[in-house]
A and B are shown apart, each in its own frame.
Chain A
Amino acid sequence: MDPQVEPRPPAPAAPPLAGPEAEFGALYAAHAPAIYYLALRLLGDPARAEDATHDVFLRAWRSLSEFRGESAVRTWLYRIALNHCRNLRQRWYERARAPDPGEAFWNRVSAPDATPLRVLELKELGARIQRALDALPPEYRELLLLVADEQLSYREVAELTRQSVDAVRGKLHRARRAFHAAFTQTA
């Protein structure tokens, strides 16, 4: 057989990752959607959320030796992401934003939290959610986003937000009511 016409096996596109890089790739695949979504809704901008998610995973890689396994990997990544996004918001946003009406204002909101939320089109969902979250105090915003992750327990949410589980439950109730009121106003 002419060696020039002998079919050759296709060249591999890229060598498979091995060792820590492969493990880290699996970690990224498992947790990046949650971290990116948190960053997107806390920062309100896709490009900044992409940068923040990149930085969160880079920081995680650099601080692997400090991870003692006392919490789940997802909780550890959330902690890095929350700190990073809080710093960014403080730097970029707070100076330009209107003053926060404060928790007391939202505590007086009478919107129910048990009525269903409706949207006509799923494509409008992201923009409306962003506007509603932006109207809330940062603490409520973070609580709602963390509790929406089915993989986090209330205890883990409490650890991440540095408060008791009872405090989380109480504030969550008020946060849901506030979100309802704000979301309704975005229609």
Chain B
Amino acid sequence: MTTDPSPSRLGQQQQAREQAAAQQQTGHTFASVEELLRADRAQTPPPPRLAARLRESLAREPAPRRRWWQRWWRR
């Protein structure tokens, strides 16, 4: 089956192509160094295996001596 796109549909497609081309030219813009670093941090998570590796290491360690520190955990 063939479709005959309407003029409005063609206009939308043309607009989308222009937006994509403009995005390719300008790329991503960051207002500050901090914003740039935050974007980088957001796409750079720690490797998933690190948590398991740490858990194995902690299992070989003696438990901490005092428990009063627990109230500070979530600060």
Contact = CB atoms under 8 A, between A and B. Distances in A.
B32 to A, nearest CB: 7
A interface, by DSSP: helix, strand, loop or mixed?
helix
Contacts of A46: 47
Contact of A67 (B28, B63, B69): B69
Contact of B41 (A21, A25, A30, A148): A148
Interface residues of B, number: 41
A54 B54 contact: yes
A91 B40 CA distance: 27
A28 interface: yes
B34 interface: yes
Contacts of A37: 40-41, 44
B31 interface: yes
A62 B27 CA distance: 45
Contact of A20 (B47, B64, B72, B75): B64
Given A24-B58, A54-B53, A120-B27, A73 B40 contact: no
Chain A interface bracket (under 10, 10 to 19, 20 to 34, 35 or more): 35 or more
Nearest to B24: A120
A109 interface: no
Contacts of A180: 33
A148 B29 contact: no
B46 A119 contact: no
A23 B27 contact: no
Contacts of B36: 117, 125, 129, 183
A54 B57 contact: yes
B21 interface: no
Given A64-B69, A73-B73, A144-B37, A118 B57 contact: no
12 contacts: A20-B67, A37-B40, A61-B58, A64-B64, A65-B69, A74-B75, A113-B33, A116-B30, A117-B29, A118-B27, A126-B40, A144-B33
